[in-house]
């Protein structure tokens, strides 16, 4: 059992529960009564469990809690903000502020793809095949099975070459049952990466959307699109980009914490691009049109 990483959590109670289970698996003396005692509550055996179950964690107890569980400086700072975020029930503005602080401290979800692995981005279907292996059980010889899952269809040779590339780049592996599986749940490029290979990949995805989106879904899965024409200031632009970052991070958190078996693959496109040249104040009107 590995020590849970606080930066993977958006709920401090879930983190404390997992961290406690880890510590208890390492040392049976580290039980809930011991935790209560270290928190200065020698006569209580239920306080810690009450916190896990939803009881309000007093700001006075927060530094004691970080000491009991021996959090380092970075973990302690994240924990303090996470507690404030989770417990700011009726203060949406405060929650947003705490959430932005969490994002500034949170390690980006997923494994960062090394530049030596950028060949992965040369074809749009490499990422789709990698994701497909997460929802089906397939071996290296199940080319037809993998090919049947893809929209639009590609050739058997392309599937075979893609599997070879994914294996070479250590993006897939053979599990104990003999099936090909992704090496990581989420992979990503460095933030604001403008490498030519990644840009070309993004252009391919935009092109694929033109073919896939109009097609009638045979699986019955929903498609959702929101388009907006926006007018805002330079400062508003920064806030919009910050909101996109927060949303993207939330999606990664949802995916990484999804405990159900995946049974579908979606491509999500978030793009913000200019439609006019910057000429200062274009209009006194502000807002958005759908």
Residue range of the domain that includes 32: 6-105
pLDDT tier, 286 (very low <50, low <70, confident <90, very high otherwise): very low
Domain-embedded: residue 27: yes
Regarding pTM above 0.75, the answer is no
Domain-embedded: residue 287: no
Domain-embedded: residue 18: yes
Distance, in Å, from the CA atom of 41 to the CA atom of 70, rounded to the nearest integer, reads 18
Domain-embedded: residue 236: no
Q: What was the pLDDT predicted at 110?
A: 60
Domain-embedded: residue 45: yes
248, with CB counted inside 10 A (0-12, 13-18, 19+), is: middle
Domain-embedded: residue 132: no
Strands 180-182 and 172-174: what pairing? antiparallel
Domain-embedded: residue 161: no
Q: Give backbone dihedrals phi and psi of 288, rounded to 5 degrees, phi first.
A: -145, 145
- Residue range 211-236, pLDDT digits in tens: 777 766 555 667 778 888 888 888 88
Domain count, the chain: 1
Domain-embedded: residue 78: yes
């Amino acid at each position: 059992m590995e020590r849970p990483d606080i930066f993977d959590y958006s709920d401090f109670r879930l983190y404390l529960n997992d961290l406690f289970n880890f510590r208890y698996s390492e040392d049976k003396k580290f039980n809930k009564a011991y935790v209560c005692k270290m928190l200065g509550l020698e006569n209580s055996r239920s306080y810690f469990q009450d916190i896990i179950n939803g009881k309000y964690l007093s700001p006075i107890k927060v530094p004691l809690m970080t000491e009991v569980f021996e959090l380092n400086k970075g973990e302690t700072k994240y924990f303090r903000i996470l507690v404030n975020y989770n417990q700011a029930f009726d203060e949406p503005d405060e929650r947003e502020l705490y959430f932005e602080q969490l994002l500034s401290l949170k390690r980006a979800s997923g494994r960062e793809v090394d530049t030596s692995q950028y060949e992965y981005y040369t074809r749009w279907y490499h990422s789709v095949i990698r994701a497909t292996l997460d929802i089906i059980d397939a071996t290296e010889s199940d080319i037809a099975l993998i090919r049947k899952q893809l929209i639009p269809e590609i050739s058997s040779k392309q599937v075979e070459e893609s599997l070879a590339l994914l294996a070479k780049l250590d993006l897939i592996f053979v599990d104990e049952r003999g099936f090909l599986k992704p090496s990581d749940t989420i992979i990503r490029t460095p933030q604001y990466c403008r490498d030519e290979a990644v840009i070309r990949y993004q252009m391919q995805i935009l092109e694929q959307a033109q073919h896939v989106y109009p097609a009638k879904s045979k699986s019955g899965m929903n498609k959702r699109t929101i388009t907006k024409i926006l007018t805002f200031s330079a400062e508003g632009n920064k806030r919009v980009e910050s909101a996109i970052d927060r949303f993207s991070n939330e999606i990664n958190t949802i995916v990484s914490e999804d405990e159900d078996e995946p049974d579908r693959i979606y491509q999500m496109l978030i793009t913000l691009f200019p439609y006019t040249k910057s000429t200062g104040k274009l209009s006194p009107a502000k807002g958005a049109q759908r």
